[in-house]
Amino acid sequence: MERKVRLAVLGAGLIGKRHIQHVLAEPQAELLAVIDPMPLGQQIAQASGVAWFPSFAAMIALDRPDGIIVATPNQLHVENGIEAVAAGVPVLTEKPIADDVADGERLIRAAEAAGVPILTGHHRRHNPMIQKAKEIIDSGELGRVLVANAMFWLFKPDDYFDIDWRRQAGAGPVFLNLIHDVDNLRYLFGDIVAVQAQESNAVRRNVVEETAVILMEFSSGLLATASVSDSVVAPWSWEMTACENPAYPQTEEACYMIGGTHGSLTIPALDVWKNGIKRSWWEPFEKRRVTVQDEDPLVLQIRQFCKVIRGEEAPLVSGREGLNTLNVIMAIKQSAESGERVVLG
């Protein structure tokens, strides 16, 4: 039996608590400590039966984990990551890797220079269903994929906006939610080379956007649209369809549709639609549903982190990949503000 990988969780909030539970339940890993300056963090450490520290510096002075999961607010990810890298500790950081592309670049360069791995917590790539979708697309079964459509349509209740920062710029569904969908699309289809976007705040009238429509151009020539709204009552989003988080009601609708010259695919159901003998709009369809074994991607992400720490695998979502996804989101915001198409460098 290999030695367990000793992990610490930095930030014991909403997502940090889920990471703590998953590390505690993971046979390959051991929870070394919870780091969070708030009294609640200390209580969670106590309830988990592990050491508590108010800061990374306080922990590293006494003990050194094999890896750290950073689940602090966005603005701290770079600072926390650089501290861990300086101590030679591999990092799995929550998304977004940074709240600014230049700062994210600083973190990645520091990690590269030190030879310390960084993983970005775009956990959806670890979902077996997305893995299977990629396999179907890469197999060529759909022919050349030309078009995709992604939807994030749901209703955030009015009291969600009682908290001030959620009404301010940077807290909208493009930055908070669409970043996951953009990362999925980048995983499935490769690099995005240009975007054009329009946003609106027609109903709630907060500073932050509530609706956005985005056109994305991929280096392969594929064109995709994404539409986002957190102010519509609708079942078409990853949240309501992918069965990842039991807190959301689940529907059997699609959130992504992918079209190729020889067939198309829905996500998350993995329905493959094709014509029989001849491709034609007159021909009947053959529909095949591909099944996969459900597994919690947050658990699989921690397992992969353990393998990366042991030097057995490269990160599925590296820090650089997380930064590239962030770069697309920043370009979308820039395009919505300027009204111009933005070409990515």
Residues that bind ligand NAD (CB under 6 A): 10-16, 35-38, 41, 71-74, 76, 94-95, 121, 123
Task: Kindly state the tokens that stand for 77.
Answer: 């990810």
Least CB distance to ligand NAD at residue 75 (A): 9
Q: Nearer to ligand NAD by C-beta: 169 or 223? A: 169
Q: In whole angstroms, what is the distance from residue 225 CA to residue 223 CA?
A: 7
Q: Nearer to ligand NAD by C-beta: 16 or 315? A: 16
Q: Nearer to ligand NAD by C-beta: 63 or 283? A: 63
Task: Kindly state the tokens that stand for 170.
Answer: 């940077």
Q: Which residue is nearest to ligand NAD (CB)?
A: 13
Segment holding 217, helix H or strand E = strand 211-218
Q: Nearer to ligand NAD by C-beta: 70 or 110? A: 70
Q: Nearer to ligand NAD by C-beta: 15 or 270? A: 15
- Residue 336 CB-density burial (10 A; 0-12 exposed, 13-18 middle, 19+ buried): buried
Task: Kindly state the tokens that stand for 33.
Answer: 């400590």
Least CB distance to ligand NAD at residue 14 (A): 3
Least CB distance to ligand NAD at residue 228 (A): 16
Q: Nearer to ligand NAD by C-beta: 53 or 153? A: 53
- Residue 1 CB-density burial (10 A; 0-12 exposed, 13-18 middle, 19+ buried): exposed
Q: Are 51 and 63 in contact (CB under 8 A)?
A: yes
Q: Nearer to ligand NAD by C-beta: 24 or 215? A: 24
Least CB distance to ligand NAD at residue 29 (A): 18
Least CB distance to ligand NAD at residue 214 (A): 20
Residue 340 phi/psi, 5-degree rounding, is -105, 155
Q: Nearer to ligand NAD by C-beta: 10 or 111? A: 10
Least CB distance to ligand NAD at residue 301 (A): 9
Least CB distance to ligand NAD at residue 275 (A): 38
Helix (H, G, I), strand (E, B) or coil at 320: helix
**Degrees, nearest 5: CA angle 215-316-180:** 35
Least CB distance to ligand NAD at residue 6 (A): 18
Q: Nearer to ligand NAD by C-beta: 36 or 321? A: 36
SS (H, E, C) 123-163: HHHHCHHHHHHHHHHHHCCCCCEEEEEEEEECECCHHHHHC
Tell me if the bond preceding 96 is cis, omega within 30° of 0.
yes
DSSP strand pairing (263-267 vs 256-260): antiparallel
Q: In whole angstroms, what is the distance from residue 225 CA to residue 239 CA?
A: 18
Least CB distance to ligand NAD at residue 123 (A): 5
Question: Helices (H) and strands (E) in the chain — how many of each?
Answer: 11, 15
